[in-house]
Amino acid sequence: KNEVEQSPQNLTAQEGEFITINCSYSVGISALHWLQQHPGGGIVSLFMLSSGKKKHGRLIATINIQEKHSSLHITASHPRDSAVYICAVYRMDSNYQLIWGAGTKLIIKP
């Protein structure tokens, strides 16, 4: 079993829909990272969080340390949000190495 599991693997939605991507992990972590990978391959960091909730524009990330679970939400989704969203965690005992989820491929149709 992977140490970081994401769901769903693929998600197709209509423009304007509220999107939720889930991430569960099985190791002790110091923080969790949400990243976005565009079709060309470039990766952008969206959030790094260790507790609670963060918001940036239409993106919201939450984490529940006790339940070892995080969610990424996109409000009023837009076709430009189409990308692969990746959850990654910093293990507590690591030298800032990330354990990566497999990613969620999101397609927003106009």
Partner 1 sequence: SQTIHQWPATLVQPVGSPLSLECTVEGTSNPNLYWYRQAAGRGLQLLFYSVGIGQISSEVPQNLSASRPQDRQFILSSKKLLLSDSGFYLCAWTPGGGYTFGSGTRLTVV
Residue 7 contacts partner 1 per CB under 8 A: no
Q: Which of 26, 92, 97, 107 binds partner 1 (CB under 8 A)?
A: 97
Residue of 82, 70, 81, 86 lying closest to 34 (CA atoms): 86
Report the site for partner 1 in 34-53 (rule: CB under 8 A): 35, 41-45, 48
Q: Which is nearer to partner 1, 7 or 97 (CB)?
A: 97
The residue (of 77 and 87) whose beta carbon lies closer to partner 1 is 87
| Longest Cα separation, the chain | 44
